[in-house]
Amino acid sequence: MVQEKEYVVNTISSEYHFIKIKLFDSGGESFKNMPYKLETKDKTYEGKSDDDGLIEHKIPNNVTEGTLIFGEEKIKILFDAFADIEDLKGVQQRLNNLGFDCGTPDGEMSSKTIEALQMFQEIYDLEVTGEATRESKDKLLEIVGR
């Protein structure tokens, strides 16, 4: 089964995006050192996630979608640019990139967004409020970027 998710990317130049995606299992444990393939229209990128389950790649700006394959999972990825961190949609996009599922980033404070924020805050030793606090936004910027 192929899941479809939207991930956002950092533009690092006029030619490239930089992607960071964190792989988690259904129990919230990261897939450490997991072999993966990221297949795009023009190229396949291969590697292993790091000790935290993180995948990082520089890809051309013209790439708009791809398929991430790891273990038994196949995830269709639609690349988009980050919304501003001060917009809840920007918080949701960054949380989704790190594997904290907010659902569709729409700027609405849903129960999924609250749960994702709480899990993120707990894992990163922040005050657990379920709100997009300044401290949470700053941590997201530190981890994911812009």
Confidence of residue 131 (pLDDT cuts 50, 70, 90): very high
* Tokens standing for residue 27: 């129990």
Domains observed in the chain: 2-81 (2.60.40), 88-143 (no CATH)
Q: Span 87-96, mean pLDDT? A: 91
Q: 3-class SS at 114?
A: helix
The three state secondary structure string of the chain is CEEEEEEEEEECCCCEEEEEEECECCCCCECCCCEEEEEECCCEEEEECCCCCEEEEEEECCCCEEEEEECCEEEEEEEEECCCCCCHHHHHHHHHHCCCCCCCCCCCCCHHHHHHHHHHHHHCCCCCCCCCCHHHHHHHHHHCCC
- What is the b/e burial string over 12-31, where b = at least 16 CB atoms within 10 angstroms of the residue's CB? eeeebbbbbbbbeeeeeebb
pTM equals 0.61
Tell me: the pLDDT tens digits for 98-115?
888 898 889 999 999 999
Judged against a pLDDT cut of 80, whether residue 146 lies above it is answered with: no
pLDDT tens-place string over residues 33-69: 999 999 988 899 999 999 988 888 888 878 878 888 8
In the predicted structure, residue 1 carries a pLDDT above the cut 50: no
